Structure formats: structure tokens, C-alpha cells
Amino acid sequence: MKAAKSAAAPAIAPILLIEDEASVAAFVRAALERRGYCVVPSPSAADGLRLLETRDFCGVISDIRTPGGVSGADVHSWMRQHKPELLEHLIFITGDIANRATAALLEESGAPFVEKPFRVAQILSMVETTIGKPREQHDR
């Protein structure tokens, strides 16, 4: 697990969760929603890009490998071009850290990441640091 860059402002808009494995998506979504975040799930990076084009998000959690010919690397490239302010609120999930392309993306992007399998505490800590605490927790 790589440390995030800096503390973020409170999360106001929803978090976009791009994850094709239904069990992982349900696990992450449930953990975040129990903590007070609003989560918009997407089963593919292609769908995630359509959502990014039309909605506002406070952050993005994206698997690196998703079906449909669009990857986490493509999401990163699109964000760099169209929503660069969101790049510092991007977290990758990967189960393939040994893959050269994955390692290169993580190095080039500088985005924090968690390796599958991961614990709830890992993802929650990274989300709070990278995306921000849920607004209602921040206001307490």
C-alpha cells in the first residue's frame, strides 16, 4: 500500500467506484456507505468514464483491470485531460501488482493504491486521506 499525498477536504459529492468484481464492489461500497460516504458504483471503466463525463464526483476508486476494453490507465488518462483537479483524489485497486504495465501506471500516475485482498481499514484510511472524510463526519 502506498501512502497518499496529502489530507483532502471533506467529501461532498459522491465517490465513483469502478470495480467489475461484484463481491469487491459490494465490500468497498458497504464499507464506505457505513462510514457516511455516498458511492456510485460502475461495473466497468467504460461506464465509469460515461459517469465522469456527466456527473461530479469528489473522488474515484478504480480497479486497474476492468472488462470492455477500457482500463484504469484509460480512466487516469481521461481524468488528466478532462478533470485534472480530480487526479489527486484517485485511488487504484489492483490484484496484479507484479504486472509490468500495472507497475508502470502506478509509478507514472503517483496515485495511491491498495492491493487485493485488502482490509476495510486500509481502504477507509486511504479514502479519508486521499478523497476526504465524509462531510457529516467532518462537520461534527
Mean pLDDT by 10 residues, the chain (140 residues): 50 91 96 96 97 97 93 96 97 90 92 94 96 69
Task: Check residue 11 and give its pLDDT.
Answer: 66
Q: What is the pTM of this model?
A: 0.88
8 Å CB contact between 54 and 60: no
Query: 3.40.309.10, 3.40.50.2300, 3.60.20.10, 3.90.1150.10: which CATH number matches 15-131?
Result: 3.40.50.2300
Q: How many CB atoms lie within 10 A of CB 23?
A: 8
State the amino acid at position 87 in one-letter form. Answer: L
Task: Check residue 4 and give its pLDDT.
Answer: 43
State the amino acid at position 24 in one-letter form. Answer: V
Task: Check residue 97 and give its pLDDT.
Answer: 82
Q: Following DSSP, what letter does each residue of 81-120 receive, concatenated?
A: HH-GGGGGGEEEEES-TTSHHHHHHHHHH---EEESS--H
Q: Which residues contact 130 (CB under 8 A, 6 or more apart)?
A: 4, 5, 8, 59, 88, 89, 90, 91, 112
Q: d(Cα 109, Cα 9) in Å, to the nearest integer? A: 21
Q: How many CB atoms lie within 10 A of CB 53?
A: 10
Domain extents in the chain:
15-131
